[in-house]
Structure 1
């Protein structure tokens, strides 16, 4: 079963690594692959917990806006098709 880790847990693991812990030990403790850890590190390195939460909020807002834009583009395309048809 795939387990989701919170931003707090991810940032704590990254900080452990920055403090000198080995990646293999951290991965074994969390039950993740080393590739997963390096993906986390590339995304969350240098972030604090409150910054990570803000990042998640911005990403969800961005996804909502992308969906709205896609819906409007489809609507405009449908209207254009209706207007160009010969009745």
Structure 2
């Protein structure tokens, strides 16, 4: 059985659907089954996206992507700096 990668906006929508179903009297397990995910996925999503709105989730994902890009750039520059320091000492 393949896995489906849900977009953050879809996750927030499904979390809200569970909240609505639970408030209408369904059990949490039935509500989770109604949105088509397993319990572990639901609780992981709730932990990560619990109180966020769609625009906040989108912004958070953009910031995480930018953070990864910047970390890679720093790693590359640090490596270049170390190579230049070795060359300047004459240990090449």
Gaps of 5+ in 2: none
Structure 1: runs of 5+ lacking an equivalent: none
What pairs with 1:22-41 in structure 2 (closer than 5 Å)?
22-41=27-46
Q: Which runs of 4+ in 1 moved over 2 A?
A: 16-19, 21-33
TM-score when normalising by structure 2: 0.77
- What are the superposed Cα offsets for residues 24-63 of structure 1, whole Å, 9 maximum, x if unpaired? 3344344433222111111101111111111111111111
Q: Secondary structure at the match of 2:4?
A: coil
| Root mean square deviation of aligned Cα | 2.0
The Cα shift of 1:13 comes to 2.0
Q: Is the 8 A contact 1:14 1:41 kept in 2?
A: yes
Residues 15 and 30 of structure 1: is their aligned pair in 2 closer, same or farther, counting only changes over 3 Å? closer
SS at match of 1:2: coil
Match of 1:55 among 56, 60, 63: 60
TM-score normalised over the length of structure 1: 0.81
